[in-house]
Structure 1
């Protein structure tokens, strides 16, 4: 079963009969589905590439899920803060630290006393700060503890924690000192 081109090459003397027969046999094998021995190596490479692609897709999906969960927690915190925030009013500047910076909120005497007792908590809300009752602050703490900036009601928070604290504990601070 030779094609017309092979017949012409044989008549012109440009090809040998053995070479034409060998090419015809290889073409017949290919048509019947008998692949050469190099196919398993290609198949292994293809499977390896598919496995790598699947692993990369799983990693991307996990990252997207984590980001979506973080956005969901942030939205829940925002909703809790908006629903439970205490209206701030007054002329007294209540100062607290957030990281390395000192911030302040304006409160009245009653709010200041509640903050000092620990029944109110200062929570980071967007670019500002809000006052929340303890129950709402616990809900926020369950979702993201780093959103709570100031909480005087936490047990063990005021305990001395280093040698320096022990040294300075012997010096009494006047009750009327406001920083």
Structure 2
């Protein structure tokens, strides 16, 4: 007894008619022909190429965003280095004084002992107080203004830059606070 193909068995059982069997056979031959000529893979490759292109574009965009973040971080570090250098080069040596000059640093009141001449310069805006690491340095007002242009958090006191904001409901608005008030 000869072995029957699956197609012949399906025809014998009545599950498939002769027309449908011929159609499937023709599609199978066409597929073999496409594979032989390389056309079947070309269609699959084009879809794959589109997907790969999309992935490359997404990766390029992500890399560009990371590079921008790194560049901003480097610029920030460069500015911090410039500010640090400006403070170190222009700091005024503190002379031991007996007058306490009070100022705020992060909502805390701090004091710096200075002599009378430095105290006068601080109140008139000729000197400024800059924060360097955990200490405080006196620097000339023009240098402080240059530092403020880059990052104002380093300058704690610069009286030439303070702007008076008038509050209409302030009951003490008529009473001016003297610049040399010591508290």
Deviations 1:70-105 (A, max 9, x none): 000000000000000011121322111234221221
Give distance in 2, aligned partners of 1:93 and 1:120.
15
Q: From the CA coordinates, give the structure whose radius of gyration is larger.
A: 2
TM-score (norm 2): 0.73
- Give the alignment of 1:79-98 within 5 angstroms: 79-89=85-95, 90-98=97-105
Q: RMSD in angstroms over aligned alpha carbons?
A: 3.0
For the structure 1 residues 28 and 108, does the alpha-carbon distance in structure 2 shift closer, same or farther, using more than 3 Å as the test? same
Question: In 2 relative to 1, CA 153–23 (structure 1 residues): closer, same or farther, beyond 3 Å?
Answer: closer
The match for 1:8 is none
Deviations 1:83-136 (A, max 9, x none): 000111213221112342212212111110100010001112122221110121
Provide the residue aligned with 2:182 in structure 1. Answer: 178
**Unaligned stretches of 5+ residues in structure 2:** 8-24
**Which residue, out of 153, 168, 178, partners 1:163?**
168
Contact 1:29 1:35 (8 Å CA) reproduced? no
Q: d(CA) in 1 for partners of 2:47 and 2:31? A: 24
Secondary structure of 1:50's aligned partner: helix
> What is the number of residues matched between the two proteins?
162
TM-score (norm 1): 0.75
SS in 2 for 1:95: strand
1:102 paired to 2:109:
yes
Shift of 1:13: 9.0
**Cα contact 2:102–2:111 (8 A) shared by 1:** yes
The gaps in structure 1 that reach 5 residues or longer are 1-11
